[in-house]
Structure 1
């Protein structure tokens, strides 16, 4: 089984990513369950705006798209900025919009039987809003969202230390992340055994 992790931090490498650090907990649990994980840090890629799979002229999204199609699990990890998903998380959803009309050789939408979950960090409130925004978008695209397929870390409203600078709340976020990983794998296996029906024409 394969998973793709999209780290939607606004910080390019080699800057430390709080979002990536928490997402690594989920990725580690997936690997412990035998899942091969491929991670993309979108800030390091050229991903122009648009709603097509390939925008041409050096667009890096097609190789991300190819990896998503080859995987059973997608994890979108985003920081919270002004109470909302990062611009790169929104851009990923916009680029995945093309998948709504893409079908496989069996005529079924390409996101069917794939599961998705969300990781959120930030030192302000808004994690649940970010989770619902991202999950809602991925459901529209065709992904299945399992029960409790998310984890987050924040210290409430207002400025504060980053995830990498503060241990408070890590135990809960990590435990929830491990549950998230287990639920993603279990649901992906269930869909592999009993796929979703082909949409009615």
Structure 2
């Protein structure tokens, strides 16, 4: 089983990413379930605006598109900015929109029988809104989003330290992240055994 983690932090490598640090918890739990995990920081790539799977010369999204097709599990990790997903997460969803009309050999949308979950960080509230926005978009595209397929961390109302600057709340976020990984694997296995059929004509 293969998983792809798309980190939508605004920070390019090698800058330290709070979102990446919380995603580590989910990655470790997935690897303990013998899942092969690939990680990509989208800020490191030239991903052009658009709603197709290839926006032409220099666009690096086609590589991500191939990785999405090859993965059983998708984890979207994003920071919270003004109570919303990052602009990179929004662009990711816009580019994934093309997958709605792409089908496999059985005429199913290519995201059918794939599962997805969400990791969110931020030092103010808004995580549930971000989870809802990302999960809703992934559901539209065709992904199955299991119950409690998310984890998040935030400091609470008002400015404060970031995830990497404090240990406060990490235990809860880690437990939730491990549950997220377990639920993703369980539902991915169930879909492999009993796949969602093509839509009725």
Aligned twin of 1:148: 148
- Report deviation, 1:56: 1.1
Aligned twin of 2:15: 15
2:64, 2:198 → 1: CA distance?
25
2:79, 2:179 → 1: CA distance?
20
2:5, 2:115 → 1: CA distance?
12
SS at match of 1:153: strand
Matches within 5 A, 1:117-156: 117-156=117-156
Deviations 1:31-87 (A, max 9, x none): 110000011100000001110000011111111110110010000000000000000
Answer with 157-166 or 129-138: which moved more: 157-166
Aligned twin of 2:3: 3
2:45, 2:82 → 1: CA distance?
24
The reply on whether 1:116 has 2:116 as its aligned counterpart is yes
SS at match of 2:188: helix
Deviations 1:95-118 (A, max 9, x none): 000000000111111000000000
Aligned twin of 2:107: 107
Deviations 1:144-186 (A, max 9, x none): 0001000000011211101001000000000000000000000
Aligned twin of 2:51: 51
TM-score (norm. length: structure 2):
0.99
2:168, 2:90 → 1: CA distance?
28
SS at match of 1:124: coil
Q: Structure 1: where are the runs of 5+ without partners?
A: none
Q: Alpha carbon RMSD of aligned pairs, Å?
A: 0.5
- The number of equivalent residue pairs is 201
Q: Structure 2: where are the runs of 5+ without partners?
A: none
2:28, 2:78 → 1: CA distance?
18
1:197, 1:57 → 2: CA distance?
36
TM-score (norm. length: structure 1):
0.99
Aligned twin of 2:27: 27
Aligned twin of 1:200: 200
- What stretches of structure 1 move > 4 A for 4+ residues in a row? none
SS at match of 1:66: helix
